[in-house]
Each structure stands twice: as structure tokens, then as C-alpha cells.
Amino acid sequence: MKFLSDRVRSPWRKAALGFCAGSLASFIANLSFTIWAVSRSGSNIQNGVGVISEGSSCSRAKNINTGIHVFINVLSSILLAGSNYCMQFLSAPTRDQIDKAHQKTQWVDIGVSSTRNLFIIPWGNALIWALLSLSSLPLHLFYNSAIFASISTNEYNVTVVNEAFMTQDNRTELPPYLQTSDLDAMYRAAVEDRVQRLDPSTCLNAYASNFQSDRGDLLLVTPGFTMPLMEQNNLGLRTEALYRATTQPYWWMCTQDWRVTEFSLSTNCEDMIPQFKAHPDSWTPFNVTVKECYSLQTSERCRLLFIPTLCWLVTVLNLFKALLMLSAALRPDTKPLLTLGDAVASFVAVPDKCTDNMCLVSKQDIVGSLRSWPRTPRLLTKHKRQRKFAAVSTARFYTCILLDMLALLLCAGLFVYGWFWITGERNLPTLMALGLGTPSSKTIIQASNPNWGWYGLLYNVILANSPQAVLSVLYFIYNGLFTTISLAIEWDSYARNRKGLRVSSNPVGAQRASYYLQLPYRYSLPLLAFSVILHWLISQSIFLVFIDISSNPIGAGPESNYNPGSYNACGWSPVGVICVMVVGVVMVAVLLLCGCRRLISSSVMPVVGSCSAAISAACHPVLHDERACLEPLQWGESNYYEGNENRHCSFSSGEVNTPQEGIMYY
């Protein structure tokens, strides 16, 4: 126990264990749910899909599904933040590793998660770092589709009858085409008051639905027609829910000829409905006047479903990530330099001889030196305030911007592609009316063949969640950029104010506790919030669509059992894609705005970023005091006196002056 207590004394270890505890809590929740869902009697697992609940109203199933996905995205974002936290301190170098690198004229990153450092840290740390990184991708790829709500849609008969049909008791006197079991059952349902009588306007509103889930067979009653005439034209049809759900819904409302099908209908029916609703008298399906309708009401049968394979995979990955975080938190205490304050404290206590006489060296000077570092005295010239981006690695900056732009272009490409394939009206109000994360026949992507079964489902899951994996990568890079910017701000502040160092260990003397490692809460908390929002918006922008197709048993009534078939595809939401692009543009704009602002200090303090060599060069006090790192420090000219030609700048616990232009500094 003493061994463990010694290991967790450091605040950063406690934070890592906190993330580990959160990951374990998430694992327990996932495991408990998966065991319950798989073992319950009503799970009815078929073709890789199980049932959580069924027979719910579609609005209730959708609300529960939305709540679950908000919770899932909160959990996944916490896991992502915890991974990033652990990866940062796993890649943090120790002082011995830094000294060995400097002796080879190599530098490492301090205060940020870095792939550069993987070549100098212990192989165990590098392995855990890589596994934490790789485990985030499949977790975000499958988490959002492990649970989802189905959409219920009915196949139903539409038959044109005359007024006598509903009043003729002797069914044997009807023409043969009206003596079917379906129409006989519909008549009995009417006699038993199980059908609803609708006027044409109400009928239009009731059946003009993308997914007809609460109504079944329909009789269109028209006056003035005799049965023999109708027999010749056989004015009846059966809708096919699969095609209605993926091409033109309720197309029969708009055809004037019973021989026309949805595939030969020249105009988009959905765009004609508003005109019919405004003028119900103009609605003449099959070129007949509708006096009234008789509609069979059914119960909505939306289901909340889960994919056991993905639930188990997410649970295992969750446990794997928790164990990795625990391993990271309990790694041998080699005293890594996690923050800028840690590095300054170490270099002030024990100056690095490899960076002596380099007090005005910046990160750009070190990065631009191919074989040796500049060790000659430097003449201080007129200083221009640097932008915060000066501290950022060029490769990291352009990688982030290019990936952000690529992600935004892909979103724009999806929007344009989807816009092109949307039938009928394509103005902005029409698209906004489709809603956020709401499936529509206009926005279903035919991504796989229905005959592919489980593989088709997996294909759609990967397609729907691939943006989640991209966002995970962007979060790591974006977080690293803001961490580097915060490094520049904190470093610059030491040229203006005397203050204690912010360290990752327990503070001593004037030292202060660190934030979320190097990243201040004013950055880390909004970043985490943006991550949750974006993950959720993406899940509402492109998503798995699972359609339950029901053949309505007319004679059994609204509480009858359904025998659903199913069809899965991907759906996309124009509103969701627009929201993702807006939030993405805002995040890029915030990054550029923060990075392009100039540092406050007007001094000549070099911008060092996370470069260990440049940080070390600024930490050679003239009067060496190992305990100076416990005192408030300030950077400046620390050995000024009249006639001194060997002027020097460094961190010092004593008085410092502002460096002067035209002076040579060592």
C-alpha cells in the first residue's frame, strides 16, 4: 500500500487515476448494459441486431435514443480527453533524457504530447502511448452506432371504392376484385368502428408522411362511380414500404393514372402536397374525386435496438483503455518534466552546459540549426512583438489547418452531393424543415445492398461513424496547438512579472500548482465542450438508418402483432452538416484569432515554444542558487552594471533589467 501511495502523490498522477476511474465507471456501465441487453428474454437477437425495447411510439423512441447518444458522446469525449492527458505525460521527457539528447545536438518537446519524444522515452511508455492513441479510433468508430432507434413504416393497400361499398351488407354482390380478404376485413373493421373517417384535407395530412407508422390500409371513397366501371380499371394498389421509404413516399397521392408508378412519376409528389393541402378539391388521385377516406389506425412500432458485437467491442476497448490509463498512472516515478515550470525549475537548479552562452536563442534558431546550435554572442536588435503562432511547430500547425480544411471540404462535398440528389424543392427553408438528425426519404444514402445482411449493416456503421474517428485525430492536434499557445503566453509573462513557477508536482515555496497539465482551464474546458458538441452534431449529421417494414394485418386491429422485415442504410441531415461546418469554421477561426494575436510583452524574450534547448538556454543564472527555483522568478538582464561587457539574460530570483538594443549578450 505504501508503494501505491508513493506513486500517487503527484497531482498529475491523481488526475490520471481520476480519468482511469472515469473510464472504469464507463466500462462497468457498458458491461452491465451489454450483459443485461444480451441476456434478457426479449432481446431477440437476429442477424446481429438485438432489441432493447419495442412497441414504443416513434417520438418516445427517438427521444430516448437522443438522450443515450448525448450520454455516449459525453463518455467518449471524456475517454478522449483522458487518453490525451495520459499520452502527454507518457511522452514527457526526464532531465536525463533531455541531457542525452542535447549532447547529440537534438532537442525534445516539453509541455505538449509529442511524437518526437517517442524515440527517447522508455519503450514501455512509447507502447502505452501508441496503444492509447490507436484504441481511440475504433472506440469512436463504433460507439455511436452500438445503440440506435429503428424507424417503423407500414405497407398498406389503397383502394378506390364508391359510396355503396361501405353500406352494402351483402358482400357477395360486389364485383370479384372487391371480394378480397383484405377488403372484406377492411369492411368488418369499419363496421366494428376500428377505422377512422377522414375528410380529404385530413386524409392528405395523415398519409403525406415519409414513414407511415401509425396508419394502415386506406379506402378512397368517390361518388358517382359504378362498380362495373371500377372493375374494368381495377383502381387498387399495394404500396411497397421499402421503396416508399427510399424514393418517393406517398407517390400514389399525385398520380392521375393508375398505370403510373413512382418510378415513372414525372414530378416529385412531396412538392405537390402543399398545393393539395391548400386546395383539397384539386386532389384527384387516380383521376377520381375523393369525397372521404376510411383509414385503419395502427399502433406505432418503433424499436430501440443494439448491436451485440459492437457493444462487446466497445466494452472491451473501454476496459483496455482504463487498464492503459492505470498502467500510465503507475509507471515508475522518473520525474518527467511535464510543464514549462518543471523545465525551468530543473534548468535553473542544474544549468545545462550544452546550452551555455545562448541566452537569446529562440525555437526558430534551434530548429533552423542543422548540425550545431548558435553559441556565439548575439547583438540585440530592434524587437518586434511576436505572434503566438511563433511558438507552434510549423508541421503541427499546417497539419491541423490542412486536416480542418479537408474535414470542412468533405462536409461541404457531402452537402453538395446530397443537395444534388435531393428530389423536388431544394431551397434552404425546405432543407431546414427536414430537421436535425431526422431521417427522410430525401436524405437516405443507398450505401449497401439489402441482401448484404450483417456485412451491409457493418458497412453502414463504418460509413456513418468514420467522421467520428477523424474528429478524434483533429482533437489531439488541435489540443496540442492550444497547449503550445498557452506555453508561449506563460513564457512571455515571465518577462513582465515576477512569479512562482507552475509545476506538476506538489508546489514548494513560491511555486504554483499546474492546470490541466500545461493547458489552462480557460482553454481545456471549452475544448472539451466543443468536442462533445461536435461529436454529437456529427452523430446527428450522418447516421445509421434502420427501417422496420411492416405488412399491416388488416383484420387484426391496431394492437396486432407485426412481422417486420428490415432494411438499413445511412441517412444524412442537411441541418446537421450545416451545424458541423459552422462549429468547425468557428473553431478554426478561434485558433487563428488566438494564434495571430501578438504576445503582450514588448521585451526581447525569445519565443521558445516547447523546444527543450531554447528553454534551457534561457535558464543560466549568473549567480547560481539551486533553491532559486523555489522563489518568484523573472526573466531579464541579470548582471547589469556599468562597464560590464559580458551582459547576460536569464531567469533570476534577484533583480533583472530590460535588455537594451545594441548590446551584445552572451
Transcribe 465-518 into DSSP letters: HHHHHHHHHHHHHHHHHHHHHHHHHHHHHTTT--B--EESS---TT-EE-BBBT
Cβ contact 321:80 at 8 Å: no
Identify the helix (H) or strand (E) that includes residue 303. strand 302-306
3-state secondary structure 307-327: CHHHHHHHHHHHHHHHHHHHH
pLDDT for residue 346: 92
Tell me the average pLDDT across 70-78: 81
Tell me the average pLDDT across 443-468: 76
**Integer Cα distance of 530 and 634 in angstroms:** 35
Q: How many CB atoms lie within 10 A of CB 121?
A: 20
Percent of the chain with pLDDT over 90: 9
Looking at per-residue pLDDT, the higher value among 488 and 555 belongs to 488
- Report the side by side order of strands in the sheet with 147-149: 50-56, 302-306, 147-149
Q: Which amino acid is at 595?
A: G
**Integer Cα distance of 87 and 101 in angstroms:** 21
| Chain Cα centroid distance, residue 133 | 16
Cβ contact 635:618 at 8 Å: yes
Identify the helix (H) or strand (E) that includes residue 549. strand 542-551
Q: How many CB atoms lie within 10 A of CB 368?
A: 9
- Positive or negative torsion for Cα 185, 186, 190, 194: positive
The most confident of 45-49, 229-233, 383-387, 648-652, by mean pLDDT: 648-652
pLDDT for residue 259: 54
Q: Which of 191, 199, 198, 185 lies closest to 156 in space, CA to CA?
A: 185
pLDDT one-digit tens code per residue, 242-274: 445 555 677 788 876 555 554 445 566 777 778
Angle between helix 308-329 and helix 123-142 axes, rounded to 10 deg: 150
In a 3-state reduction of DSSP, which class is residue 344?
helix
Q: Which amino acid is at 207?
A: Y
Cβ contact 359:495 at 8 Å: no
Tell me the average pLDDT across 619-625: 82
- Positive or negative torsion for Cα 139, 143, 144, 146: positive
Residues 459, 145, 319: CA angle, nearest 5 degrees: 110
Identify the helix (H) or strand (E) that includes residue 144. none
Cβ contact 235:286 at 8 Å: yes
pLDDT for residue 548: 80
CA distances to 316, 330, 343, 446 from 9, rounded to whole Å, are: 29, 11, 20, 55
pLDDT for residue 2: 41
Q: Which amino acid is at 283?
A: W
Q: What is the DSSP string of 383-407?
A: --PPBGGGGS-HHHHHHHHHHHHHH
**Integer Cα distance of 277 and 74 in angstroms:** 43
Percent of the chain with pLDDT over 70: 84
**Integer Cα distance of 130 and 354 in angstroms:** 31
pLDDT for residue 425: 66
Contacts (Cβ under 8 Å, ≥6 apart) of 32 = none
Least confident span in 213-217, 512-516, 588-592, 660-664? 512-516
Q: Which grid cell is 154?
A: 407500414
Tell me the average pLDDT across 323-352: 87
Contacts (Cβ under 8 Å, ≥6 apart) of 508 = 630
Looking at per-residue pLDDT, the higher value among 622 and 430 belongs to 622
**Integer Cα distance of 210 and 250 in angstroms:** 8
The most confident of 97-101, 192-196, 209-213, 300-304, by mean pLDDT: 97-101
Q: Which amino acid is at 281?
A: D
**Integer Cα distance of 626 and 196 in angstroms:** 90
Q: Which of 239, 153, 49, 61 lies closest to 441 in space, CA to CA?
A: 153
Identify the helix (H) or strand (E) that includes residue 295. strand 292-297
Q: Which grid cell is 43?
A: 432481446
CA dihedral 170→173→177→179, nearest 10 degrees, is 30
The most confident of 136-140, 160-164, 347-351, 505-509, by mean pLDDT: 347-351
Q: Which of 662, 456, 484, 650 lies closest to 569 in space, CA to CA?
A: 456
pLDDT one-digit tens code per residue, 282-337: 888 877 888 888 888 887 778 888 999 999 999 999 999 999 999 888 877 678 88
Tell me the average pLDDT across 192-212: 85
**Integer Cα distance of 114 and 118 in angstroms:** 7
> Residue 279 pLDDT more than 90?
no
pLDDT for residue 231: 43
The most confident of 120-134, 178-192, 283-297, by mean pLDDT: 120-134
**Integer Cα distance of 523 and 489 in angstroms:** 12
Q: Which amino acid is at 526?
A: P
Predicted structure pTM score: 0.77
3-state secondary structure 199-265: CHHHHHHHHCCCCCCCEEEEEEEECCCCHHHHHHHCCEEECCHHHHHHCCCCHHHHCCCCCCCCCCC
**Integer Cα distance of 195 and 54 in angstroms:** 24
> Residue 4 pLDDT more than 50?
no
> Residue 219 pLDDT more than 80?
yes
pLDDT for residue 558: 42
pLDDT for residue 556: 43
DSSP state letter for 599: P
pLDDT for residue 229: 39
> Residue 640 pLDDT more than 50?
yes
Q: Which amino acid is at 248?
A: Q
Q: What is the DSSP string of 268-290?
A: -HHHHHHHHHH-GGG--GGG---
Q: Which position has the grid cell 509545476?
A: 503
pLDDT for residue 641: 59
**Integer Cα distance of 562 and 55 in angstroms:** 10
Tell me the average pLDDT across 451-462: 79
**Integer Cα distance of 383 and 659 in angstroms:** 11
pLDDT for residue 131: 92
Mean pLDDT for the chain overall: 79
Judging by DSSP bridges, how do beta strands 157-162 and 215-222 pair with one another?
Answer: parallel
CA distances to 65, 291, 305, 454, 524 from 45, rounded to whole Å, are: 19, 46, 10, 12, 42
**Integer Cα distance of 525 and 530 in angstroms:** 9
Cβ contact 148:568 at 8 Å: no
- Find the distance separating the first CA and the last CA of the chain, reported in whole Å: 51
pLDDT for residue 263: 45
pLDDT one-digit tens code per residue, 532-558: 888 888 888 888 888 887 765 554 444
Residue 47, sorted as left (phi over 0), alpha (psi -120 to 50) or beta, turns out to be left
Q: Which amino acid is at 17?
A: L
Q: Which of 340, 352, 360 lies closest to 607 in space, CA to CA?
A: 360
pLDDT for residue 424: 62
> Residue 474 pLDDT more than 80?
yes
Least confident span in 288-292, 436-440, 514-518? 514-518
CA dihedral 220→223→227→229, nearest 10 degrees, is -100
DSSP state letter for 461: H
> Residue 45 pLDDT more than 70?
yes
